[in-house]
Amino acid sequence: MNHEMWEKTSIVVQSTKEDGTERKRNFNNIAQETTDEQLVNFGNLVAQLTGEDTDQLLVKVTTAMN
């Protein structure tokens, strides 16, 4: 029987600058147990640090079949 095994999680924070330019920031090696609330808080932190509103937060989970 095959089982899915977690390999990694990464996130992409998408934002738009005041001039309309879109930005994508990639973050890798996110902990497997990260909650939705923690991800939202992280997106808010990126917005606070950059001064740009977060438009979208994409979560990419990579698994492998065992």
- The pLDDT value recorded for residue 1 is 67
Indicate the DSSP class of residue 52: S
Could you state, in order of their start, the residue ranges of all structural domains in the chain?
A: 4-65
Which pLDDT value is given to residue 66?
78
CA dist 22 and 2 (Å) reads 40
Instruction: Categorize the per-residue pLDDT at 58 as very low, low, confident or very high, splitting at 50, 70 and 90.
Output: very high
Both tokens of 26, joined, read 């990639």
Tell me: the pLDDT tens digits for 4-51? 899 999 999 999 888 889 999 999 999 999 999 999 999 999 999 998
To the question of pTM greater than 0.95 for the whole model, the response is: no
